[in-house]
Amino acid sequence: MEIFKYNQERVKKINQFMEDLLRAKNTSEKVKLYKEYEDEIANLNPLDIFYLDFYSDNTKLSISEIKDSANKFVNVFHKGINNQAVLGDHILFKELLEENKRIQHHLAEIKNYYKREVITKHKKELLKIFNQCLQFDKKFNKYENVIFPNLESKIPSNKPLEVLWELHDDSKELLNKIIMLLQNRDSIEEDLIREIGTYHYLVFGINQKEELILLPVMRQILSDNQLYKIYNECLEIGFVFSNESHEKIDLEEKDNFEGYFTSKTGKVPFKELIAMLNHLPFDITFVDKDDVVLYYNDNKTRHFPRMPSVIGRLVKNCHPPKSVEIVEAIIRDFKAKKKDFEDFWINFKGELLYIAYYAVRDDEGEYLGVLEVSQDITKFTTISGEKRLRNR
């Protein structure tokens, strides 16, 4: 972890301010606090936030408790961090900010239907708007699988990233609920208005936290070359509501496919081996004995996004906060030799997806890591009889 220069005295005072603010009983006490800490609030740097006790990896607060207070503190610190949130003209920030503008413009269309007499009379129009919001996954994928991995080893705490990820998941769950309500003939007007308003505010808050805190921190701690690398990976995922063609930045990084992979079962040139792995009809990811992601195959039909930035990432950081404990429990059982295998299957975007975890061990039974394999098995559920190959 790299420790970047930050104002320790300011962070100490902001920590005290946040504690006092949560204990404040009325508006007058809050106003008094704002005046007392006026200078610290006005000069808060976005990077300072990652050093605050409230957002440390050792905080006593749960992610839910942090989420509850996050908007309050962002509003309090808005003026200060906005003054410090310098991004410059790097193409990565330009595209990410433009994407946020398109998302906010899209959500603004909802307001037209709040002005109508009865919102439930316009379910068809609203359903179209909210079905298009499903494309926001593209934005969330860029942060969770490209941007977060590039920050995790360089910041003092990953808690703010975990909070953002959970906010992503909250927005996805709420969006699905709204779509369900819009599809339901008997949905109640008040329920729709409440959930739609909450969703609009939630997505706005996510965008605001990115623009005021996360992106400026990236600008401070990542080099231009690292930002261009992130940009190239973001292009592979794409940008929400954009059909514009973008060209990758040439970073003069060449793949080295020379040499051979050799084992007792054969010898294959690395170029052919990589092609073979990428043509497997399933997705694989290998995590080593220290819980670090070492490899994934680049299957073009991959179900869960994997980008080069995931290499070297702790596996616990590759999953939403709500599911981390399940993954860690599986790995603990593998290391303790309680299990060698775990599997499950889910309905995923119209497919039946089978996911399995295998403990990888050497000839002496020592744990080397875990192999995750996922595959679309939808067609297998309908197979019966036989199919034989015949001469043509």
Domains of the chain: 1-251 (1.20.120.520), 281-382 (3.30.450.20)
- Cα 371–Cα 374–Cα 378 angle in degrees, nearest 5: 155
pTM: 0.88
pLDDT tens for 155-193 read: 999 999 999 999 999 999 999 999 999 999 888 888 999
pLDDT for the residue 3: 53
Q: Count how many Cα atoms sit within 13 Å of the Cα of residue 319 in the half-sphere of its side chain.
A: 14
* 3-class SS string, the chain: CCCCCCCHHHHHHHHHHHHHHHHCCCHHHHHHHHHHCHHHHHCCCHHHHHHCHHHCCCCCCCHHHHHHHHHHHHHHHHHHHHHHCCCCCCHHHHHHHHHHHHHHHHHHCCHHHHCCCCHHHHHHHHHHHHHHHHHHHHHHHHHHHHHHHHHHCCCCCCHHHHHHHHHHHHHHHHHHHHHHHHHCCCCCHHHHHHHHHHHHHHHHHHHHHHHHHHHHHHHHHCCHHHHHHHHHHHHHHCCCCCCCCCCCCCCCCCCCCCCEEEECCEEEEHHHHHHHHHCCCCEEEEEECCCEEEEECCCCCCCCCCCHHHCCCEHHHHCCHHHHHHHHHHHHHHHCCCCCEEEEEEEECCEEEEEEEEEEECCCCCEEEEEEEEEECHHHHHCCCCCCCCCC
pLDDT for the residue 254: 67
pLDDT tens for 331-349 read: 999 999 999 999 999 998 8
pLDDT for the residue 28: 93
List, run by run, the mean pLDDT of 10-residue segments along the chain (392 residues).
70 91 89 91 88 88 84 80 81 97 96 79 94 97 97 92 95 97 90 93 95 94 95 95 90 79 95 94 96 94 88 93 92 97 93 96 97 95 90 72
Residue reference for tokens 């300011």: 10
Cα(83)–Cα(328) distance, integer angstroms: 40
Cα(66)–Cα(64) distance, integer angstroms: 5
